[in-house]
Amino acid sequence: MSTLHDDHLVRGVDHAAFPTFDPAGTVRFYRDTLGFPVVHSICAAGWGPEDHPDFIHFFFDIGNDDRIAFFYYFGLEQPESLGKGDVYARFGPETPEFFVRSRHLAIHVDSEEHLLEYRRRLDGSTWPVEMQIQHETIESIYTHDPNGYMVEITRALRPVTPQEDLDANLTIDALMDIADTPGAGMAELLTRKAELIVERAQAWEDDQADRREVRASPEGPVHA
């Protein structure tokens, strides 16, 4: 049996890819404004079964060796649709703004100073920051790139604590339990989650205390 079965093996985002009809604007935004280096590009044609124009696939480094990538298809007509959204997906005026904004890419920075440096770069460009918001434990700036994709740059206000991981897992387990119940809402979720807290929270805290003791022991853990 492989020793990898229980391991979390993935290592971040290789690339997240989006189509563009404005490659020059895209390069001006990501490379020239934000300063994300171009790190890779592919000139290809559609050789597969599908009829496919020639295209350029190009990549920007978003730090941590992760990349954001774009496809530019020569001669492809931009779908003619009005409405809210971006070049990939548009919605009618009845679609609420929070829904349109829900799908976005958030890029991490380490400090307020770094966040404000990106704010400075954007504010001096054609794509100024549209919002700067403090959420529960993060602070973010937002703008839309030349393709209409919402881009968030975010910093943590403090490190994530272990109990937040527990809490997230209890939330998701509660959601799994109630999501298929017709009409279930937040009240049902919080009720189910309270049951899970009663079941598991004390055992989790005892386990954390044991771990702290092992770490604090001068001889370290004893192995039989």
C-alpha span between 74 and 120 (Å, rounded):
33
Using CB under 8 A, list all residues that contact other proteins: 42-50, 52, 54-55, 57, 133-137, 158, 161-164, 166-167, 170-171, 186-187, 190-191, 193-198, 200-205, 208
Strand partners of residue 156: 138
Question: In the bound complex, what is the minimum distance in angstroms from residue 162's beta carbon to other proteins?
Answer: 8
**Between 125 and 171, CB nearer to other proteins:** 171
C-alpha span between 208 and 191 (Å, rounded):
25
C-alpha span between 38 and 30 (Å, rounded):
9
C-alpha span between 39 and 14 (Å, rounded):
12
**Between 47 and 98, CB nearer to other proteins:** 47
Question: In the bound complex, what is the minimum distance in angstroms from residue 48's beta carbon to other proteins?
Answer: 2
Please list the alpha-helical segments (H only) found in the chain.
23-27, 97-102, 112-123, 162-178, 186-216
Question: In the bound complex, what is the minimum distance in angstroms from residue 191's beta carbon to other proteins?
Answer: 5
Question: In the bound complex, what is the minimum distance in angstroms from residue 16's beta carbon to other proteins?
Answer: 16
**Between 46 and 83, CB nearer to other proteins:** 46
**Between 45 and 83, CB nearer to other proteins:** 45
Instruction: Supply 154's token pair.
Output: 């975010």
